[in-house]
Amino acid sequence: MNIDAKRRALAGTLRSAAPAAANRTAPVRVERQVAGRGGKGVSVITGLPLPPAGLETLAAELKKTCGCGGTVRNGTIEIQGDHRDRLVAELIRRGYAAKRSGG
């Protein structure tokens, strides 16, 4: 960035590229994982653009929809069992660009 661009940025006339990239919605991925769980499979939802409190609320609603348990860990939602199709349908209904990931 040259000195004139810095001056315009400080004056508020130059917009950075970061907000434009933040508006782009990445697809939400729903995959099945069994690693480290003693062979028990869970459906893992990643890529949700929500704060931790929003993830907790959404996880509770998805657990009720699937009729099973689950948790929020490291910014992802884990739902017990293989409920990928049901979760993708519910996330699409809620307006997220959800895709089934994995095999």
pLDDT digits (tens, 9 = 90+) for 12-64: 654 544 444 443 467 899 999 998 888 899 999 999 999 999 999 999 999 99
How far lies 90's CA from each of 39, 64, 94, in Å? 26, 12, 6
Predicted local distance difference test score (pLDDT) of residue 17: 47
What is the mean predicted confidence (pLDDT) over 4-10? 71
Considering the segment(s) 25-100 as one domain, its CATH architecture is: 2-Layer Sandwich (3.30)
Q: Which two tokens stand for residue 102?
A: 């994995």
In 3D space, the residue among 66, 58, 28, 60 whose CA is nearest the CA of residue 45 turns out to be 28
Per-domain boundaries in the chain: 25-100
